[in-house]
Amino acid sequence: MTARKSSNSNSRNNGNGLRRRDFLQIAGGVAAGVVAGYGVSKFLAPSAPSEVEIAPGNLQNIIQEKNLTPDQAVAAVKTYVPGGARDEFIMFASGGHSGQVLVIGIPSMKLYKVIAVFTPEPWQGYGVGNLETEKILKEGSNGIRNLTWGDVHHPEISRTNAEFDGEWLFVNDKANGRMAVISLKDFETKQIVKIPNMQSQHGGCFCTPNTEYVVVGSQYPAPWDPETGYRPGETYVELDPQNPDTYKNNFRGLVAFLAFNREVGRIDLSKSFEIELPPYMQDLVAIGWGPSDGLCFINSFNTEMAVGDDLNGIPPLEVGASERDFDYLHVIFWKKAEELVKQGKYKELNGVKVISLDTAIKEGIIYLIPEPKSPHGCDITPGGEYIVVSGKLEPVATVYSVEKILTAIKNKDFEGTDEYGIPILKFESTKEAQVEVGLGPLHTEFDDKGYAYTSLFIDNKVAKWALGPPYHTGDEAWKVVDKIDIHYNVGHVAAPESNTPKPKGKYLVSLNKWSIDRFNSVGPLKPQNLQLIDITSSKMMLLYDMPIGLGEPHYARIISADKLNPIEVYPMGTNPLTFQKDPNAVSKGEERIERKVVNGQPVTEIWGTLIRSRITPDFIRVKQGDKVIFHLTNIETTPDATHGFTICEYNINLSLEPGEVATVEILADKPGVYAMYCTEFCSPLHLEMAGWFVVEPQ
Ligand code: RUQ
Ligand code: CUA
């Protein structure tokens, strides 16, 4: 991997070979421009810094002292979003193996929140005692283990007419084949679903144009029993590397169309369906609109169906999976598949309707197109007319025309079938263009001016190139126009509302795997590096490096901030999971403790309130062996007045936002006197927001 020093690091010659006097002139210009550009009057508002502090001379001194190049000084100003101001875009970046989702402002690159999804997170009271959130994690496990992490790759925002609508966020767990639903009303996880018949999951998520379905594809094929599909911990099939047929016959890929019920904000498996796929390693998924409405595209690798077994003389999986020059882009007619389900042409496997591969072929809903070697990205141009795929091992971005694909299907323009009988369309009759973008192309995003941006893993660059008609014509079309260095090892890039009909342009974020020399050292495990790039002019310009010290952000969706409209406080007594009034909500004066016996088990049930700076009740006496249930209502109405709740030694922590009701259940199994207190520094008497939980010995 080539990892070079940044060309614009703080070097003595100011990075540009400028002489010092020239530089000072430019710096002065920048400084003056800063003040003028931002409007002096704004700076002179009563709360703004004094005139002396913002004098151009001073700014010039700062630039000089920090040894900034003019570009760096401009970048600093471009990304600065003062406190009280708002970012223009919000990025939802996957948190990789942290199992969480990062909420980041653009252009400031401020980290606003880490949404707890697959991994317990105490600050949000997620999976650390709160009954509802523990239930989400438990019901979203795989039935054989309580999963406490996920490998989050691809976030997706709910869509209306294929555009992001800012209501819901979906993220996948690659390692365990799961999907999570997050409400953008409160930025909290509401549901995790183990996708039936899927072991690992990677492609997508990608919503159909009106979020009828959240679409996801498998990555590593699952062991497959034609009668019972795949069941975690149960399905055992023969896999013998010496006999490739065992893999070809006993494993299957899958694409799942998870029906999303917007009213209740939940995935409904009873209305979902799946399509069986060959045991290739299906990769990214894209769902079309406009001319590609009703189409689903999935690329794949390891169409060689290599298994590995390197210690026994079989080529390593990596080698076996890279032998052929082409893999397959899958083209699936999902609306026709929906019809087949209505006609009953499916088999129910593990609670979901599955269209068999044979049925899919016979009914003409699946086709393959050769795509250059081990591709990764699978992205749709704003007009929905092209699909762009990049082969990691081929220095080109390949552009397919949807019109040509549909014509080729109509004319049965096939070069044959694959081993399973799926018709393969001819590459030449579906291809629109191939653009030489550089080495190791991965993933492509689009702006609002007809340009595409492809990440180049091996080159450590992002290439900007012009799309063809109707975006650009003649000599302008399908041409690389600019490249920018990134630092280092870019995976995906993300641009505001790319992969929708109306990308917003302006910025590109390069999600880099390595940061090497870009930050203060924090030991051998280095942060990932998200780099913000300005794409408003013909030359791309690096604006900001943001270290991410938790997990690996694979991909991100970026939405205009004004499309988001989260609530400030919950309506009093809300259960966040349902957004309904919680039957156990209490107001001031209704607090109480009740003791009863349920099926022979003594139960102490407490209805309490929290308000600055009091937990009511603040003294609770139970008997050893009691099951103790707390229903706590935060009766604050002030935004930000969150209280926490813990009982020492009990491994629980709640986060109660204003208006929220939470329930926690514990077993008073050990005698003792335990302090309980509010874990959020909420008020001057926060430390006094405490009480005692007494467990009398039997
Ligand atoms: S992936 S870069 Cu899911 Cu593309 Cu990781
Ligand atoms: Cu409530 Cu501290």
Any ligand 2 atom below 6 A from CB of 540: no
3-state secondary structure of 594: strand
Tens digits of residue pLDDT in 643-652 = 999 999 999 9
Rounded CA separation 159/167 (Å)? 8
Q: Which fold has domain 89-563?
A: Methylamine Dehydrogenase; Chain H (2.130.10)
Nearest to 186 by CA among 169, 207, 210: 169
For residue 677, say if its preceding peptide bond is cis, omega within 30 degrees of 0: no
Rounded Cα distance, 691 and 624, in Å: 18
Element (H, E) at 157: strand 156-160
Length of the chain: 698
Q: Which residues pair with 593 in a beta bridge?
A: 606
Query: Is the shortest distance between the CB of 353 and ligand 1 below 6 Å?
Result: no
What's residue 354's pLDDT?
98
For ligand 1, say whether the CB of 154 is within 6 Å of any of its atoms: yes
**Separation of 656 CA from ligand 2 center, angstroms?**
10
**Which residue puts its alpha carbon closest to atom 3 of ligand 1?**
153
Ligand 2 atom having least distance to the Cα of 642: 1
CA of residue 107 to ligand 2 center, whole Å: 33
Report which bound ligand comes closest to the CA of 512: 1
CATH says 574-696 is which class? mainly beta
The predicted structure's pLDDT at residue 25: 46
Q: How far is the CA of 686 from the centre of ligand 2 (A)?
A: 5
Among protein residues, the one with the nearest Cα to ligand 2's atom 1 is 643
Distance from the alpha carbon of residue 105 to the mean position of ligand 2, in angstroms = 28
Which mutation among 492, 493, 511 tests ligand 1's pocket best, with the greatest number of atoms within 8 A of CB? 492
> For 556, how many CA atoms within 13 A lie in the half-sphere containing its CB?
30
Tokens of 626: 């009691």
SS3 state of residue 182? strand
Q: How many helices (H) and strands (E) does the chain have?
A: 11, 46
Q: What is the pLDDT of residue 38?
A: 37
Sequence spans of domains, the chain: 20-79, 89-563, 574-696
> What does the alpha-carbon distance between residue 12 and residue 627 come to, in Å, rounded to a whole number?
68
Across-strand partners of 194? Answer: 178
- Ligand 1 atom nearest the C-alpha of 94 is 3
In the predicted model, what is the mean pLDDT of residues 336-348? 98
Alpha-carbon torsion angle 500, 218, 321, 288, nearest 10: -20
Ligand 1 centroid to Cα of residue 218, in Å, is: 13
pLDDT classification of 374: cutoffs 50, 70, 90: confident
Cα–Cα distance, 257 to 255 (Å, whole number): 7
Task: DSSP for 509-525, please give it.
Answer: EEEES--TTSS---SSS
Q: Which ligand is nearest to the CA of 172?
A: 1
Using an 8 Å Cβ cutoff, are 172 and 153 in contact?
A: yes
Say what the pLDDT of residue 392 is.
82
Cis peptide before 280 (omega within 30 of 0): no
CB atoms within 10 A of CB 323: 12
Is 392 near ligand 1, meaning CB less than 6 Å away? Answer: no
Q: How far is CA 369 from CA 320, 321, 388, 633, in A?
A: 21, 18, 13, 57
Terminal Cα distance for the chain, rounded: 66
Query: What 8-state DSSP symbol labels residue 316?
Result: P
CA distances from 313 to 303, 310, 547 (A): 21, 6, 42
Residues 616-646 have pLDDT tens digits of 999 999 999 999 999 999 999 999 999 999 9
Residue 137 phi/psi, 5-degree rounding, is -65, -40
Closest CA to 572 of 611, 606, 605: 611
Evaluate: CB of 267 within 6 angstroms of ligand 2.
no
- Measured CA to CA, the distance from residue 180 to residue 133 in angstroms comes to 13
pLDDT at 53 over 90: no
CA of 194 to the centre of ligand 1 (A): 20
Interatomic CA distance for residues 119 and 425, integer angstroms = 43
Residue pointed to by tokens 């600050």: 123
Q: What is d(CA 31, CA 498) in angstroms, rounded to the nearest whole number?
A: 34
In this prediction, residue 442 has a pLDDT band, given cuts at 50, 70 and 90, of: very high
Distance separating alpha carbons of residues 89 and 558, to the nearest angstrom: 7
pLDDT at 20 over 90: no
Q: What residue owns the CA closest to ligand 1's atom 1?
A: 554
Residue 463: band (very low, low, confident or very high) from pLDDT cuts 50, 70, 90: very high
Mutate to test the pocket of ligand 1, among 152, 153, 489 (most ligand atoms within 8 A of CB): 153
Span 373-379, mean pLDDT? 90
**Position 391 confidence tier, pLDDT thresholds 50, 70, 90:** confident
* Tokens standing for residue 452: 């595409």
CA–centroid distance, residue 123 to ligand 2 (Å): 13
Q: Which two tokens stand for residue 175?
A: 């390692």
At residue 292's C-alpha, the angle toward residues 289 and 295, to 5°, is 100
Contact 160, 145 (CB under 8 A): no
The closest ligand to the CA of 688 turns out to be: 2
Ligand 1 pocket residue status of 554, Cβ below 6 Å? yes
Cβ-based neighbour number of residue 540 at 10 Å: 23
3-state SS record for 73-106: HHHHHHHCCCCCCCCCEEEEEECECCCCEEEEEE
Contact 420/361 with Cβ under 8 angstroms?
yes
pLDDT for the residue 58:
87
Inter-residue contact 342 to 361 (CB < 8 Å): no
Express each pLDDT in 264-284 by its tens digit. 999 999 999 999 999 999 999
Query: Rounded to the nearest whole angstrom, what is the distance from the C-alpha of residue 633 to the centroid of ligand 2?
Result: 13
DSSP state of 225: B
Return the ligand number nearest the Cα of 494: 1
Two structure tokens written together for 215:
């679409």
Beta strands 528-534 and 326-333, pairing class: unpaired
Q: Is the pTM of this model over 0.95?
A: no
Cα angle: 624, vertex 629, 635; to 5 degrees = 135
Whether residue 564 contacts residue 162, with contact meaning beta carbons closer than 8 Å, is answered with no
Dmax (CA) for the chain in angstroms is 87
Kindly give the distance from the C-alpha atom of residue 5 to the centroid of ligand 1, in angstroms, as a whole number.
25
pLDDT-based confidence at 87, cuts 50/70/90?
very high
pLDDT-based confidence at residue 348 (cuts at 50, 70, 90): very high
Percent of the chain with pLDDT over 70: 92
Closest approach atom of ligand 2 to CA 610? 1
> Are 472 and 466 a contacting pair, CB within 8 Å?
yes
Q: Are 155 and 169 in contact (CB under 8 A)?
A: yes
What is the predicted pLDDT for the residue at 55?
Answer: 55
CA distance 410 to 405: 9
**DSSP string of 192-216, one letter each residue:** EEEPTT-SSEEEEEEE-TTSSEEEE
Regarding the beta carbon of 689 and ligand 2, being less than 6 Å apart is answered yes
Which amino acid appears at position 624 of this protein? Answer: Q
* CB distance 680 to ligand 2 below 6 Å: yes
